[in-house]
Amino acid sequence: MTSRRSARLLAKAASPILTPKASKVLKKPVTKKPAVRVAAAVLSTKVPAIDAGVTHATLADPGMMEAAILYLKSADPKLGQIIDQTTDECSMSLTRDDDNETSFVSLCKSVIFQQLAGNAARAILLRFLKRYGTLTDTSKAPLLNDDSSELQLTDFEFPTAQQVVAMDVEEMKAVGLGQRKAEYLQAVAEQFNSGALSEKMLLGMSDENVSRTLV
C-alpha cells in the first residue's frame, strides 16, 4: 500500500516541475491585455474594407476617407473621441510648404528632416538653400552672408536634381548634413535626373509601390 508521502512524490514526478515564481504566475487570473481587447473590438465591428493597393489619386475619395476614419475610431476609441471633437477637415493629402512643390523637393526635404527636431532640420535646410538654392528675390542677395538675416525657406527655389547630383558631398556636410544624408540626397537626385523616377510615375503608384521603389 502506497503511503501518502509516496503518493505525493509520485504526483510531483508526473507533473511539470515549476519554480515558486512560476507557480505564483500560474495562480494569477488570466486577463486580456489592452491590445487583445482592442483587436477583439475591431474584429467584432464591421468597418468598410480598405484596399491596400489604392493609388494616390483615389485617396481623396470621400468614401475612402470615411472608411479610414471609421477604422481608426473602431480600433482606438480614445482616438475616436478626439476625431469626433475635431472641427478641421480630414485629408489624406500631404502637406507641403508650397502647393507647387515637386515630389523631388518633398523627398529631399524628408531626407533632411529625418530623425531631427523640426527647428534643427529647418536650420540645416536654410543653410543648404543659402549655399545651393536660388533666391526668388535677387535684392535679398546681400543677406546671404548674414547669419542673423531674416531670410526664410520660402525665399529660395530648391536646386534641381541635376544640380544636386553635381554637388560635392564634403561641401554638403559643411552646411550640417551628415555623410549618409548627403549621399541619400544625391541618390534621390540621380533617380530623378536619369528618369528612373518622375512626378507622374510617383503620383500613379500605390503607397506600397512607392515605398518599394524608394527603398
Name which residue leads in pLDDT, 53 or 118: 118
Q: Compute the distance between CA of residue 157 and CA of residue 101 in angstroms, rounded to an integer.
A: 10
- pTM equals 0.55
Residue 60: the pLDDT is 53
Mean of per-residue pLDDT scores for the chain: 73
In this predicted structure, the answer to whether residue 22 has a pLDDT above a threshold of 50 is: no
Region 97-105: what's the mean pLDDT?
A: 73
Torsion, Cα 188 191 197 198, to 10 degrees, reads 80
By CB atoms closer than 10 A (0-12, 13-18, 19+), residue 132 is middle
By CB atoms closer than 10 A (0-12, 13-18, 19+), residue 161 is buried
Q: Compute the distance between CA of residue 209 and CA of residue 41 in angstroms, rounded to an integer.
A: 31
pLDDT category of residue 209 using cuts at 50, 70 and 90: confident
> Shortest CA distance to 92 belongs to which of 118, 115, 69?
69
User: What's the pLDDT tens digit per position in 44-81?
Assistant: 444 445 454 544 445 556 677 788 888 888 999 998 88
